[in-house]
Amino acid sequence: MADIDSLETTVFDAIVLGTGFTQTIVAAALARAGKTVLHLDENEYYGGESGAFGFRDLLQWADKVAPAPSDDALNEENKDKIEFDKLVARAYDHFEIQLFDESGSNSNTAIDLASVLSSHSAASMDDRVKAVEEHITAAYNVKDLSKEAKEAIHTLASWASGSESSLTAANFKTVSPTQIRTLEEFLKATRKYNFDLSPKLLYSRGPLTNLLISSGIGKYLEFKLLERTAVYEALTDKVEMMPTSKEDVFVSKALSLKEKRLLMKFLQFAVDYENQKEVWRDYKDAPFIQFAQRAYGLSDKVLTAVVYAIGFDGNDYATTADGLKSVKVYLQSLGRYGNSAYLCPLYGVGSELAQAFCRVSAVYGGIYMLQHGLDKHNVDRNANIWKSVVDKSGQTLQANQLICTREYLSKDMDSYLEARILNRSYVSHCILVTDRSAFGETTLCKTLFPMGSLVLNPGETPVRKNQHTISVLQSDTPKASAKEELTAAIRKLVHIPGDPLSLKAPTSESNIDTQANTQAPQHLGDSTTAAAGEDKPRMSLDQELDMDQVREEILKAEKKLFEENENNTPVPSRPSTPSPKPASKVFQKSKTSASLSTVPTVAPRVLFSLFYKRTTSWPRVPYPVGSEKLTPLPENMTVLKPMNHSLDFESATEEARAVFERLCPGAEFLPPTPDPEDGAF
């Protein structure tokens, strides 16, 4: 990390603002191509909107971005100002925190906060929180409160003291001892988990992974494999494990022999679909599901596997061309590093990748400064040229090119962009912590609730169903097992130790009590109005999002996944265990078969949930990636899109490549780092 005073120069080829995923690729590519790069971030962490936090940091982050920012009118005074915090906070809303309460609000043990709140309604925020805190502490009546217990009570008090409009505040009209204890435990174990703000997966043979390998950046990263993909099936009202590889199809008990054949046949076609245009040409722009159903006669069960478990990239309105492309990259990815098509960085997704790219950039001379406050942009309005950015210390930093995301725009620039957004789009996120995995021993698992599969009002008419597909990524932290000696054979990119995804510093299990050590961070992402930013004219784009409905949808999915979990299909653990019908059952009556690990009889409970909505709005036209810019913005600046709803990084990677190729025409995009053995490095 550089110190601003130690900079030898304040003039650069490019200044990159924000360490979000896309910016970091661009920065790395520019540095690699020999450009001088200054990379700044207002945050103290890497990754921007793809950041990953421990529990305490997550709460702090939510605390910071949750309040709706005041919006001053644009004037001559503030037009060049950078109001980073404000713009970040604007991108998020509808925050709601819930904590599991065993006793229920009517119970005797609940601590009623209504009186203390109303008596302090006129007091300042700090005083209110203080009063509530004291009230809770008195009622809780536990001696020798730990540091974390005090912190928990303070946190609960501040939640309860929120404004009238705060959804979280409404959930904490009373607090219970259970809630205090739960929060205390979470705070104690805060470093045990990483919570991704925008969880995504990498295709093992997708453009990003290939780039990581070819550029040598993969050396900096460790990955684990997605173990399972499950899909909620409306017909059976169950969350079912999906066969997503040849081996899955082989051992699947859910599919009939004929279904297996049809599924495999379809997949064989999809690998080669580009050479068999005649089969799908007529369906090119039709929904993917329609093609799969009509042209291949797939049964509902198989359709679910193909369209959702295998071919779903986050877009509910995927055309046949989109779907086949996804299926193909999925299939190509299978088997590269094991029986799974997806990789997931071991310690948080976007932030890990972003840091790896930053590292490359730094190796090639890129200068990095986090937590660097920015004040304003200098723009030559006549020439329509961005000149420099001034930081909070008054230092002017110049460059030929500026690359940033929207949060780093000046008031003036942002207003211009805002005026051109015709359709709003959002992603709704819900981070859940549960007391156990929803899928037995499976640790990293993706679950989808297809659009229209969940009935929100069972038994009523008209039937309301979920309007968006809900994706859930579970990354569990099971017992830390010894590293397998032989996984070293899987070289370079993937190192798949038994360590769990989010365990940053593996703590020994005995430190935490039983409830906590099986906590499973869950991430429910609802890609609402997914198609809006993606130039897909099918939806009525301008309607205001019905947030109640979205919350209801996610709540329903949550119920299906956890509370009503006993319905779900048993999960054969894999891949090291035998087929679901082990022959040993037949041969040895005395020995019980250990090959089936079924879903625990106790349904998992949600202990904590954080709901929020993030805007992904972006002007539909005219901003084709990389080729053309929004004209009235200075010509030498590039504004990158927000992270979209997609479940993978491919479109963001492509955007970065396109931006680089526009800035450095003819230069190679992240060429391999030379092999030290050849002596050139």
Partner 1 sequence: EGRHGQKKENPESPELIKARQEREAIQVREYCDLKDSFKDIVDSKKRDNDSLRVTTSLLRKSPDYYTVWNVRRTILQEGFLNNSDDETANKIYANELEFVQENLKLNPKSYWMWNHRRWCLEHMSQPRWDKELAMVSKFLELDARNFHGWDYRRYIIRQMDLQDKSSSDKILDRTQSEFDFTTTKISQNFSNYSAWHNRSTLLGKLAKNMTEEEIEAAVDNEFDLVKNAIYTDPADQSAWLYDLWLIGREERSISILGATVISFDPLEIVVAFDKIVNVRNPFTVTTMLDHVATRLHGEWKATGSDSSRGSIWIFQHAPGAAYGPTVEVVIFPDDVCAVKAGSKLSSAVCFELETLNQNFDSISGRLERLPIGKNLMYDVSKRIGPIPVPDGTTHKPNSKYRVTSLTVSDSLEDRVALLEREIATVRELAELEPDCKWPIQILSMLLSELRETVSIQSTQAKLIDDECIELQEKLISIDPLRQDRYEDRRAQLVFDRETLHLIKDSKNFPEIEFADEQPRALDLSMRGLTHIPISSYLMHIHTLNLDSNSITSTRFLRNLLNVRQVNLSNNLIERLEGLRHAPTLELLTLENNLIAKWEDVVAGFVFWREGKLSRTGGHLKVLLGLNPIIENEGGEYVLEKRWEDVGEVGVEIQWKSEEYRVTEEALIEAEGEGAANIHMDGTRRISTTTVEFDAGSTL
Cα–Cα distances (Å) from 472 to 447, 499, 546, in that order, read 5, 21, 21
Which spans of this chain sit near partner 1 (rule: CB under 8 A)?
210, 213-214, 246-247, 249-252, 257-258, 260-262, 264-265, 339, 485-486, 489, 491-493, 574-579, 581-588, 668, 671-672, 678-680
Cα–Cα distances (Å) from 501 to 66, 307, 346, 519, in that order, read 27, 27, 5, 13
Query: Which is it for the CA torsion 307, 573, 648, 265, positive or negative?
Result: negative
- Kindly state the tokens that stand for 393: 């210390």
458 versus 671: smaller Cβ distance to partner 1: 671
CB of 586 to partner 1, least distance (A): 5
- Kindly state the tokens that stand for 534: 């993606």
CB of 346 to partner 1, least distance (A): 19
CB of 595 to partner 1, least distance (A): 8
Is residue 638 a contact partner of residue 5, using CB atoms and an 8 Å limit? no
209 versus 453: smaller Cβ distance to partner 1: 209
142 versus 681: smaller Cβ distance to partner 1: 681
105 versus 584: smaller Cβ distance to partner 1: 584
CB of 213 to partner 1, least distance (A): 6
192 versus 657: smaller Cβ distance to partner 1: 657
CB of 252 to partner 1, least distance (A): 8
CB of 584 to partner 1, least distance (A): 5
Distance between CA atoms of residues 335 and 494, nearest Å: 13
456 versus 667: smaller Cβ distance to partner 1: 667
229 versus 423: smaller Cβ distance to partner 1: 229
CB of 401 to partner 1, least distance (A): 22
Nearest to 660 by CA among 625, 610, 608, 615: 625
CB of 575 to partner 1, least distance (A): 6
- Kindly state the tokens that stand for 114: 């209504």
What is the full DSSP assignment across 567-626?
A: GSPPB---SSS--SS-HHHHH-SSSPP-S-BPPPSSPP-EEEEEEEEEE-----TT--TT
Cα 594-599-604 angle, rounded to 5 deg:
140
99 versus 212: smaller Cβ distance to partner 1: 212
Is residue 95 a contact partner of residue 63, using CB atoms and an 8 Å limit? no
Element (H, E) at 265: helix 257-271
DSSP state of 487: G
67 versus 575: smaller Cβ distance to partner 1: 575
Is residue 152 a contact partner of residue 184, using CB atoms and an 8 Å limit? yes
Is residue 280 a contact partner of residue 295, using CB atoms and an 8 Å limit? yes
- Kindly state the tokens that stand for 173: 């009209």
- Kindly state the tokens that stand for 420: 């051109």
CB of 583 to partner 1, least distance (A): 5
